[in-house]
Amino acid sequence: MKDFHGKAAFVTGGASGIGLAMARALAEAGARVMIADIEEKPLTDAVASLKGNLPEVRGIACDVRDYAAVERAAKVAIDAFGKVHIVCNNAGVGGSPGVDNISLNDWRWVVDINLMGVVHGVRALVPHIKSHGEGGHIVNTASMAGIVSMIGFGAYTATKYAVVGLSEGLSVELAPHNIGVSVLCPGWVSTRIGESRRNWPKEYGAPPPPMSGPIADMAREAIRTGLDPNIVAGLVMKAIEDNQLYIFTDPAMRVWIEKRFERILADYRKLGAAGEAKR
């Protein structure tokens, strides 16, 4: 997609962080944007901050855990803009570190938002994009934790691996329909993900205690000094233009990927050696 003028975008988790930066970049490129977010006051503030000389920007309260809510929000966007072309399934949360500390409700919360939120966005809007026949693009927010496992953040890592796998499959399935797919795998970015529990659902009972310990301290500092979300949004825009599948943000993390695949290949070679031994 080379020209964003006249296109319309739907961005979840768009009231802050990477989502807000993507919404801003899309609007500045000429797209009309519907921001969906669970936090109503930040949502109102985000929409207000983007209005002015930019194309039309609107907001809709939406809990991505609830498919019916995502479907309603998608319909609002379609009714407002006529068609939606770009979907950024960006809403996400962190979760507790450690195998022993994370409760089943914490697991459900992370899976329901990080994975099912993406599934709901795809299900609600991909059929619409197919139907209007003008093509489009899907951006699913994963993480470097979806490429290389982060020790101590099992639930978060599991969901991000799932988003990467889902996106890889979608990229092949949707290509014949002129719908591109990108999966965003950022490193550390300066966002409020460390404060995710501010939106802990009441139906899950009392929220987990604040994260503590060396892993939590490391994550907080890495987020504090992380990349500006606007830089990430710029990389996303370029990826949409180039129909690029993987979006990475940190060149220094390449060594993590190389080590992972070196280990995979080393163990795969053992299978070959075992097969030769049987002959």
95 band by pLDDT with thresholds 50, 70 and 90: confident
Tens digit of pLDDT for each residue in 11-23? 999 999 999 999 9
What's the sign of the alpha-carbon dihedral 106, 107, 111, 112? negative
For the chain, the structural domain boundaries read 8-248, 254-279
Please name the CATH architecture into which domain 8-248 falls.
3-Layer(aba) Sandwich (3.40)
- Catalytic site residue from 67, 156, 204, 268: 156
Rounded to whole angstroms, how far apart are CA atoms 41 and 43? 5
What's the one-letter identity of residue 80?
A
Whether 187 and 160 have beta carbons less than 8 Å apart is answered as no
Rounded to whole angstroms, how far apart are CA atoms 204 and 199? 11
Residue 279 has pLDDT above 60, yes or no: no
pTM above 0.75, yes or no: yes
Averaged pLDDT of the chain: 91
Residue 156: active-site member? yes
- Secondary structure letter of residue 114 according to DSSP: I
Residues in the chain: 279
* Predicted pLDDT of residue 276: 65
Tens digit of pLDDT for each residue in 99-123? 677 888 989 999 999 999 999 999 9
The kind and range of the H/E element at 9 are strand 8-12
Residue 46 has pLDDT above 90, yes or no: yes
- Tell me the CB-side half-sphere exposure of residue 269, using CA atoms within 13 A: 6
199 band by pLDDT with thresholds 50, 70 and 90: confident
